[in-house]
Amino acid sequence: MKTTKLLFPALILWLMASGCQKELLINDDGNLVPKTVEQDSTLPSISVNGTLLHAESFGNPDSPMLVILHGGPGSDYRYLLNCKQFAENGYYVVFYDQRGSGLSKREPKESYAIQTMFDDLQQVIAHYRTSPEQKIILLGHSWGAMLATAYINEHPAEITGAILCEPGGFMWQDIIDYVNRTRSFSAFSETLNDATYPDQFITGNENEQAVLDYKYSLLAYADGAADSPLGNEGVLPFWRYGAIVNGALFDLGQKEQPDWTTHLSQYTTKVLFCYSERNEAYGLAHAQKVSSAYPNVDLELIKDAGHDMITFPDGWNNFFPLAIDYLNSL
Amino acid sequence: MKYIKIILAIGAGIILSSFAQAQTLNWANLTKDDRHIINLNLGYDYAASFGAAYGYQLKAPVPIVLDAQFSMPAGENLFDDFKSKAGAQVRIFEWKSFCFSAEAQGIFRRYENPYARLLNFGSEFSGTIGYYRPSWFVAGQAGFDKAIVTHFKNSELYEDNYPGEQNGWYQPATGGNFFYGLQGGYSLRQISFYLKAGQVIEQDFKSSPMIPFYAQLGVNWKL
């Protein structure tokens, strides 16, 4: 009884002390997720297609341009910064966080269209291009490789070459099949429960993007977990995961069931298509199926790597020489 | 200051009623002399989870059961995530074999993954209406679970990504979910088995949790 009497005031004191801390607003800029280029003018940015994108370039602007397209949708280019090395090898490397992703400006959910993502890419290229003769090469990872392919399907004459790393698919059903395989966690696993349990702590409507971005970032650990089929060595570095753009593009995909292969037969340039040794959700069969949409493909296995082959040292060391050889062949 | 009061109120409520719990009861099988009810359950509650509860029926003109429960999701790290509830349920209305009961509970829950640890004080209110016979029952339930105030503590791993993050108590309320569903059970003299299941939808009435349903299989044992 004596212990109970002591416990109660102790708990009250603890609650009061905790309560006296400064209360933070969950949707204030910079509290839980970084400020975007709209909120922090010191970040490098470009204004294109009616939005503000976080973007940087490295290398000689007159060299062949290599545009890096990150995955997600909703991730950012931080995990692809190894690609700066291409700038030391004679390429003008352009990074940008796609609309609503990373440190780029947030946009309302209803403003998204898949075509807008293609238009953004077109305007990013136009922004950095220094001459009409400049070669333009796309390097896309995961969703970024799907975006690259969709763009090539729409503008086959504009793109000099493409490096594609484990795109989920170029047709909606392939994408869904792949995504489902990547989420094959045991119902009783810590990883799955870590992803689903926060739903009772944090909800938010579409106008409360900061808290939704934070919640989405908590899920990012799953891709680096030991029981993830993706086979990564660890978790990816990131600035901000864009929950709204991810949800919006996924919803649009469900609705529109896109097929980005309809004009790929016109693209006879060789494409470098990479898949990883450890991603159990991908594998040779899926790589062959997806890459077969291109008439001229160099299909390469990246050993000692998982899905994020560009990020981690072993994958990068095996990927980079292949990529440089391909780029120099164009 | 507003949140200090809320925390104090909820905290005190949890402490004062921590010897009690909300279980899925067969009101027609609960006599005035039944005092102690032990519950074991498993199912889906935002994750595959399992739990235990204890209920105490007060000596009162209408059936009132104080209850306390503890549940945790499955996984390798068992105690990093959990939910505890404490409160009371009251049979408010009875007509022939039909009963309407209401529940109010305070919630304290914890979540942790390699990026963050969240502590939350919340509340849950629900109502249940059904047809109750001594050996079986079927009912419908609807309620609202509000995450009132949450403490965020981000890990070094998260700080590596964003060093400017702010740890602390966050306002306004960080979440809320409505739930509704059906429940039914079979009762013996001392033991009742029940199954309940339903839908969960976020408070904006547009979004759903990743596991958009709840389900629980449980057993109540009257001591």
Q: Residues B14-46: pLDDT tens digits?
A: 443 433 335 788 888 888 888 999 999 999 999
Q: Which residue has the higher pLDDT, B71 or A2?
A: B71
Q: With an 8 Å Cβ cutoff, is A205 touching chain B?
A: yes
Q: Determine whether A177 is exposed, middle or buried from the number of CB atoms within 10 Å of its CB (0-12, 13-18, 19+).
A: middle
CA distances from A246 to A76, A118, A120 (A): 12, 15, 16
Q: Residue range A23-35: average pLDDT?
A: 87
Query: Which chain B residues are closer than 8 Å to A238 by Cβ?
Result: 161
pLDDT digits (tens, 9 = 90+) for A48-83: 999 999 999 999 999 999 999 999 999 999 999 999
Task: Report the domain count for chain A.
Answer: 1
From CA B68, how far away is CA A317, in angstroms rounded? 56
Considering the four listed CATH numbers 3.30.230.80, 2.40.50.100, 2.40.160.20, 2.60.260.20, the one that applies to the domain covering B2-222 is: 2.40.160.20
Question: Do the Cβ atoms of B46 and A42 come closer than 8 Å?
Answer: no
Residue A314 placed within a domain? yes
CB A309 within 8 A of CB A284: no
Q: Are strands A92-96 and A65-69 parallel, antiparallel or unpaired?
A: parallel
Residue B95 CB-half CA count within 13 A: 3
Q: B128, B100 in Cβ contact below 8 A?
A: yes
Write out chain A residues lying below 8 Å of B174, CB-based. Answer: 26, 201-203, 211
Domain-located, residue A40:
no
The reply to whether A319 falls in a domain is: yes
Domain ranges of chain B: 2-222
Do residue B75 and residue A193 have CB atoms under 8 angstroms apart?
yes
Q: How far is the C-alpha of A57 from the C-alpha of A39, rounded, in Å?
A: 21
Whole-number mean pLDDT of chain A? Answer: 92
Domain-embedded: residue A1: no
Which of B3, B81, B199, B210 to mutate: most A Cβ within 10 Å?
B210
* A148-188 pLDDT per residue, tens: 999 999 999 999 999 999 999 999 999 999 999 998 888 88
User: How many other CB atoms sit within 10 Å of the CB of residue A46?
Assistant: 20
ipTM of the complex: 0.87
* Domain encompassing residue A324: 45-329
The verdict on residue A3 lying in a domain is no
Query: How far is residue A161's CA from residue A158's CA, in Å, rounded to a whole number?
Result: 9
Q: Per-residue pLDDT tens for B121-178?
A: 999 999 999 999 999 999 999 999 999 999 999 999 999 999 999 999 987 777 899 9
Q: Is the pLDDT score of A14 beyond 80? A: no
Residue A162 lies inside a defined structural domain of this protein: yes
Q: Please name every residue paired with B168 in a beta bridge, in sequence order, or none if there are none.
A: B152
Could you tell me if B75 lies within 8 Å of chain A, comparing CB atoms? yes
- CATH code at A167? 3.40.50.1820
